[in-house]
Amino acid sequence: MKFLVTGSGGQLGNGWQRILKERSNDFVALDRGGLDICDVESIAKALDTHEPDVCVNTAAYTQVEKAETQTEEAYLGNVLGPKLLAEACAARGIQMVHYSTDYVFSGKLTDREIFEEGYPEDAPTDPINRYGATKFEGEQAVFKALPTALVLRVSWLCGLDGNNFVKAIINRAKTMGQLRVVNDQFGVPSFVPDVVEQSLFLIHHKQSGLFHLGSDGCISWYDFAKKIMEDAQVDVLIEAVDSSAFPTVAKRPHFSKLATKRLNDLGMPIHSWEIGCKTLVSALNDE
Ligand X SMILES: NC(=O)c1ccc[n+]([C@@H]2O[C@H](COP(=O)([O-])OP(=O)(O)OC[C@H]3O[C@@H](n4cnc5c(N)ncnc54)[C@H](OP(=O)(O)O)[C@@H]3O)[C@@H](O)[C@H]2O)c1
Residues annotated catalytic, as ranges? 131
Rg (CA), the chain: 18
Supply the minimum distance, in Å, between the C-beta of residue 266 and ligand X.
Answer: 21
Instruction: State yes or no: residue 179 binds ligand X (CB under 6 A).
Output: no
CA 4 to chain centre: 18
Site string for ligand X, 54-93 (x = CB under 6 A): ----xxxxx--------------x---x------------
**Contacts (Cβ under 8 Å, ≥6 apart) of 22:** none
Would you call 237 helix, strand, or coil by DSSP? strand
CA pseudo-torsion sign 19, 24, 30, 31: positive
Q: Which is nearer to ligand X, 13 or 118 (CB)?
A: 13
CA 161 to chain centre: 13
Instruction: State yes or no: residue 7 binds ligand X (CB under 6 A).
Output: yes
Closest CA to 1 of 210, 206, 192, 263: 206
Instruction: State yes or no: residue 12 binds ligand X (CB under 6 A).
Output: yes
Supply the minimum distance, in Å, between the C-beta of residue 279 and ligand X.
Answer: 17
Supply the minimum distance, in Å, between the C-beta of residue 32 and ligand X.
Answer: 4
Site string for ligand X, 266-285 (x = CB under 6 A): --------------------
| Sole binder of ligand X in the list 79, 88, 97, 157 (CB under 6 A) | 157
Stretch that binds ligand X, among 2-10, 176-184, 207-215, 246-254 (CB under 6 A): 2-10
CA pseudo-torsion sign 269, 219, 11, 89: positive
- Distance of alpha carbon 287 from alpha carbon 283, whole angstroms: 6
- Distance of alpha carbon 104 from alpha carbon 217, whole angstroms: 20
Residues that bind ligand X (CB under 6 A): 6-7, 9-13, 32, 36-38, 58-62, 77, 81, 99, 101, 135, 154-157, 162
